[in-house]
Amino acid sequence: MSAPLPPIYRDCRRLLVHTEEAVRRFARYHKYTVGADLRRQAMAVMREVHHAVFDKARQAEHIETLIWRIDDYKLTLQLAMEVGAFTHSAKGTPSFAAFETAANLAAGIGKQCGGWHHASRSRAKVVPEGERHGG
């Protein structure tokens, strides 16, 4: 039986699926500009968390990259809101629910990345030989 996946993996998968669904509702112009960037970045986040979970030898490196990938996603998400990508084309009214869900998922993933990064750095600290045995 394999070990269960960490919650960050599940949340990244939810972010990817939510992004795909949200971009599908964008107006054509935004779907192929900022929407394409959001989709690509959400996939990059998912791939990086996958690497961080399964490549234990380079986990700290993958976590560092994941932090930047989620930060890039949050920046693009904010820009998408500012340019009106989350506006329903038929009514011209903002759809804050889709933006809010994506923002909350990204923020939660960011927090988990921070904790994971801190934990991996603590484990990676090398204790000098003389201090290991009380000497």
DSSP class per residue in 51-80: HHHH-GGGHHHHHHHHHHHHHHHHHHHHHH
Per-residue pLDDT at 95: 74
DSSP letter, residue 15: H
Which domains are seen in the chain, by residue range?
A: 7-120 (1.20.1440.60)
Output b/e per residue, 42-63; b: 16+ Cβ within 10 A. Answer: bebbbbbbbbbbeeeeebbebb
CB–CB of 19/38 below 8 Å? Answer: yes
Q: What is the mean pLDDT of each run of 10 residues along the chain (135 residues)?
A: 86 98 93 97 98 94 96 98 82 76 96 85 57 48
Per-residue pLDDT at 127: 45
Confirm whether pTM is higher than 0.85: no
